Structure 1
Amino acid sequence: MSTLEVETAQRMAPPLPVRQGSFFRRHANVIDIIGFIAFLVVVVWLVARGAGAMGYTWQWERVPPYFWRIIDGEIIWGPLIKGLLITLQIAALAIVLTLPLGVATALLRLSDSIVGRFLAKAYIEIIRNTPLLLQVLIFYFIIGRVLEIPRLWCGILTLALYEGTFAAEIIRGAIQSIPRGQWEASKSLGLSSYTTYSSIILPQTMPLVIPPMAGVLVNLVKHSSIVSVIAIFDLTTEARTIAADTFMSFEIWLTVAIMYLVITIALSLVAIWLERRFKLVGK
């Protein structure tokens, strides 16, 4: 067969069918939902079986008053709601301090100053390689007593310092991922370092920083329970008090776990929305 006949046959041949992907890829979302439901069923079964083996009597009807009570037409908030508000307050104030601390530490690590790089590196290594519980105790019993810092702020500052190390590494990695041409262009235009960072570099890092920073925020909310060791009446402390008074360990701790889960899932959804928003703006 000549070359011309081969080319003609290839042009006239029907196109090969396009593979639509495997079954698991096409139904990934459905499989994820089924897997999550199966996981919840297994967890509920294990808890129910464990409680049954212990002869535990469920008392879920006693849980709602610890959220709120209505007395003479007035809503009286229960200890779980009060503890939740304290937890949210601690997390909100800590993240407000974590972000600028992370940016400052990241810039120091990337600076030309030997002292600045050393201090930033020492801060990150010391904080990341010591237990958070130990940091809370040292800050409260030593630093807080010397500087007369209230116990609530001891917890907030400890969390901010701890999560700030992770935020700093995330921001540093995002800055270093910006193409070198951006830096060279800013220098050729005679822009200062402050203008380069604030107007060119940092805005480009936002889509890169948001997903991992959402993880930092979620961890901050979960780690906030550690402040219960210094008698701050957050959600965990209130739950521990209720469980000790009522012996409803299963009901109270499962309820608190669900409350934390709702908070962290809501924060993750907000982070996903922000990530998509920045991507659209970038386009």
Structure 2
Amino acid sequence: TIVLSCLSMGLAVAIGVAIATGRVYGGRLARATLTAYVELIRGTPILLQLFVLYYGLAAAVRLPAFVAALLGLALNYAAYESEIYRSALEAIPVGQLEAARTLGLSERQVLALVRAPQAFRLALAPMTNDFVALLKDSSLVSVLTVVELTKQTQIFATNLGSWVIPGSLCAALYLVMSLPLAVLARRLEQRWRTPQG
């Protein structure tokens, strides 16, 4: 569960940054295409997306269950991450950007030296919240036969003939993994609520 969540989040962040950058700096066609992707992903259930990747594409390409789970979670969360990054980029005061351009910085330098560092600070708390959500959503990949925490709990409960103890232990493990991250997200949000300058 932890490995799947970390890999999925890493890929989601990379794709999300690319989408957000394209929507902020890209041309009309790029913005329209990326916006359509974000709305499609956000408008359909993640479980359906997992089924399409694993079962729907099986005739053309048979993805291993773990790979389909990784891609499904990453592509889904990339859409949400991109909205966080886009909002963070657009939250930086225009005056700062214009001042940087006046000093002779190129658009790439403005992004790297002025806009991105502040946007990262704004995005960090929502990113942490999203990782907590992804950690819990990773339980959905059990439908693809990936043996993660929830699937292992199901197997154990079936063998035991009861869900009480296995279910309680599973819930406790998810809480142990997610609560510290939720606390961290709240603290980051309180500390870095608005951009400096």
Identical columns (%):
33
Q: Does 1:194 align with 2:108?
A: yes
What residue number does 1:183 align with?
97
**Partners of 1:116 and 1:200 in 2: CA distance:** 24
Match of 2:171 in 1: 257
Larger RCO: 1 or 2 (CA < 8 Å, sep 6+): 2
Query: Match for residue 119 of structure 2?
Result: 205
Rounded to whole Å, the distance in 2 between the matches of 1:94 and 1:243 is: 27
Select which of 77, 81, 101 maps to 1:163.
77
Structure 1 residue aligned with 2:157? 243
| Equivalent residue runs for 1:69-218 within 5 Å | 87-143=1-57, 146-218=60-132
8 Å Cα contact 1:135/1:158 also seen in 2: yes
Structure 2: which 5+ runs fail to align?
none
Q: Secondary structure at the match of 2:142?
A: helix
CA distance 1:176–1:144, change in 2 (3 Å): farther
Distance across 1 between alignment mates of 2:26 and 2:75: 23
> What SS does the corresponding residue of 2:60 show, helix, strand or coil?
helix
Change (3 A) 1:100 1:223: same
Structure of greater Rg: 1
Pick closer, same or farther for the CA change 1:145–1:254 going to 2, 3 Å: farther
What runs of 5+ residues in structure 1 fail to find an aligned partner?
A: 1-86
Cα distance in 1 for partners of 2:29, 2:46 equals: 26
TM-score normalised by the chain length of structure 2: 0.90
For the 8 Å contact 1:144–1:151, the answer to whether it is kept is no
Deviations 1:21-57 (A, max 9, x none): xxxxxxxxxxxxxxxxxxxxxxxxxxxxxxxxxxxxx
172-181 or 146-155, which deviates more: 146-155
Q: Matched residues in 2 for 1:270 and 1:223: separation? A: 19
AA at the equivalent of 2:105:
L
Partners of 1:150 and 1:119 in 2: CA distance: 28
CA distance in 2, matches of 1:240, 1:176: 44
| Structure 1 residue 186, shift from structure 2 partner | 2.2
Compute the RMSD of aligned alpha carbons.
2.1
